[in-house]
Amino acid sequence: MAAPELGPSGGVRRLRERIEGEVREPIWPREDSTVSLTEAEHLFAGVHETGANDLFRAFFTARPHHLNYRTSPAVGPVPASAAAWTTIPAISFPGIPGGIQLAIQFSIPTVDFHPDTLGVPPPLVFPLGEFSIRTTVRLAVLCGSRRGDGDPDQPGSAFVLQSAVLEIVGLGRVRVQTFGPGVGELSFELEAVEIVDIAPADLESLLECLILQLLQAVLSTVRLPFSGIPVAGVFTLQLLRGPEVEDDQVKLYGDAV
């Protein structure tokens, strides 16, 4: 049997390996340099991390059910609106009537486009062209022995809602998909997460593995169409270059058609 791996989780390890193996690209000139915004192309659209965070906030405020998942209201009482939740099935387990009741809640994520402004915790290394993301996840489980008819919404006095909040830092890339001139969308692909100060390391890796998958799923719901970028969407952008993440922005370059 192979010895259990210690240290960084698989996602972080793979990310570090890729960074160490990649040829470092030259840093594109910054806005205050002597290069035009459009550079060699003719049309430029840049979304600063503050703008991206405003868009994230708007998205998850309007659609909070992409952040909040629960098996029943008993494990996720806040927010009160049922529309703010996505209902997931309880984890079935022999001998537990109704299964294990749990809730998973993320806070609205914030992104930091390269360069690293906020600092990522080790072992994460912030590569060129990527973004870091910060959020918290609240994991809640209904603990105790069930009495009565087993209705989780009517728990007996023996039930206790146990929860923990973890701070998450992740790294990822902005992806683009085009469907024709002026039509395309940006998406955010998470590659690694780090949860600080959990011991033992195997537990940390396990939780990071779990939360990476969950947060990847959450972020996959965020797809920002070109037309949904204020001002930039006015011009019919035929994408020729990008997205390039640098200077605290995600940048798109192209032609006007």
Partner 1 sequence: MPDIIAALDETAANVVVPRAVNTLPPLSGSGSGSLGPFTASWSASATLSNGSVDLIPPPPDVIRITNCRLDYSLSFSFSIDLSFLNFCLPRICITIPFIGRVCTPRICITFPTITVPVSHSSFVVFTADFRLNVHLTGGNWLVDAVVVGVPSLQISAAAAALLVAIGAAISAALLLVPGIGPILALAAAAIIAAIGIAGVTGLLGPILTPFVSGLTFNLITQPQVFEVLPAAPGEAAVNVTLDSLAATLVASPGEDELRVDADIS
Minimum CB distance to partner 1 smaller for 74 or for 224: 224
- Which C-beta is closer to partner 1: that of 59 or that of 106? 59
Give min distance, CB of 152 to partner 1, in A.
24
Closest contact distance (angstroms) between CB of 191 and partner 1 is 25
What is the nearest approach in angstroms of partner 1 to the Cβ of residue 221? 9
| List of residues 6+ apart from 33 with CB closer than 8 A | none
Nearer to partner 1, 159 or 188 (CB): 188
Place of tokens 């023996």: 158
Which is nearer to partner 1, 206 or 257 (by Cβ)? 257
Taking the least distance from each CB to partner 1, the nearer of 163 and 178 is 178
User: Please, what is the minimum distance in Å from the beta carbon of residue 59 to partner 1?
Assistant: 5
Burial class (CB in 10 A: 0-12, 13-18, 19+), 70: buried
Provide, rounded to whole angstroms, the least separation between the CB of residue 187 and partner 1: 13
- For residue 21, the number of C-alpha atoms closer than 13 Å in the C-beta half-sphere is 6
Residues that bind partner 1 (CB under 8 A): 34-38, 42-48, 50-51, 54-55, 58-59, 62-63, 224-225, 228-232, 234-235, 248-249, 255-257
Rounded to the nearest whole angstrom, what is the least distance from the CB of residue 32 to partner 1 in the complex? 10
Residue 240 Cβ vs partner 1, minimum distance, rounded to whole Å = 12
State which residue, 84 or 201, has the beta carbon closest to partner 1: 84
- The single residue listed with the structure tokens 């959020």 is 135
Q: What angle do CA 119, 175, 25 make, to 5 degrees?
A: 60
Both tokens of 217, joined, read 């799923």
Are β-strands 68-70 and 86-87 bridged in parallel, bridged antiparallel, or unpaired? parallel
Please identify, using beta-carbon distances, which residue of 140 and 237 lies nearer to partner 1.
237
